[in-house]
A and B are shown apart, each in its own frame.
Chain A
Amino acid sequence: EPEVTQTPSHQVTQMGQEVILRCVPISNHLYFYWYRQILGQKVEFLVSFYNNEISEKSEIFDDQFSVERPDGSNFTLKIRSTKLEDSAMYFCASSVAGQNSPLHFGNGTRLTVT
């Protein structure tokens, strides 16, 4: 069964550094998402992406965050200057359609900012 893959599984970085989290969505999916889960808390929406542009973003997704689909397969999340509070599990997801279609998640990247 096709799956969403994320790399790396764990990223440790120092405060103020830039990080790029990578995702390969399911190949025939058209909608892409990033969510995050701070330890013990709920899964929070960050951003959705369709047709090479952001379709919706949350208040968490400020100017420090950006997304890109640099080629036909990868979908990346960049955090320009990491803060301690960015430490979380970051999940990439994709779906066939933008509505009434389940999201399929990767196994996440654990980001630790020290």
Chain B
Amino acid sequence: DQQVKQNSPSLSVQEGRISILNCDYTNSMFDYFLWYKKYPAEGPTFLISISSIKDKNEDGRFTVFLNKSAKHLSLHIVPSQPGDSAVYFCAAHSGTYKYIFGTGTRLKVLA
């Protein structure tokens, strides 16, 4: 039961351009969403989060957009840098203790 889906397994973007990573969810009870970045041989690193009462949250180069009616969130990275190359996971939370993760999107930023 895939409640959180990342339909693009990979994405390549030129350095300096915008990276847009997408995530869809099915459970309308989710009220808190997060994005994580993961390098090989490391644990996921928290990037940015958004509560369901907002539709946008920004932190430096990272912006998360939430469209509740479409059950869709996206992460924008601008400008993209080679160091951003990693696997990005979205995660969602519904008031229980469990955070549910998507399958990840591998971002490659080309120099």
- Name A residues whose Cβ lies closer than 8 Å to a Cβ of B: 4, 6, 31, 33, 35, 41-45, 48, 50, 55-56, 58, 91, 93, 98-100, 102-108
**Chain B contact residue count (CB 8 A cutoff):** 25
| Interchain CA distance A3-B42 in the complex, whole Å | 12
Could you count the A-B residue pairs with CB atoms below 8 Å apart for me: how many are there?
63
Among candidates B32, B41, B91, residue contacting A107 with C-beta atoms closer than 8 Å = B41
Report the nearest B residue to A105, measured CB to CB: B43
- A4-B43, A104-B46, A108-B43 in contact; A48/B97 too (CB < 8 A)? yes
**Interface pair B89/A43, CB less than 8 Å apart:** yes
- A91-B44, A100-B51, A107-B41 in contact; A58/B97 too (CB < 8 A)? no
Among candidates A56, A99, A106, residue contacting B43 with C-beta atoms closer than 8 Å = A106
**Interface pair B45/A105, CB less than 8 Å apart:** yes
- Residue-wise, chain B 1-41 has the 8 Å CB interface mask toward A (1 for contact) of 00000000000000000000000000000011010100001
**Interface pair A43/B101, CB less than 8 Å apart:** yes
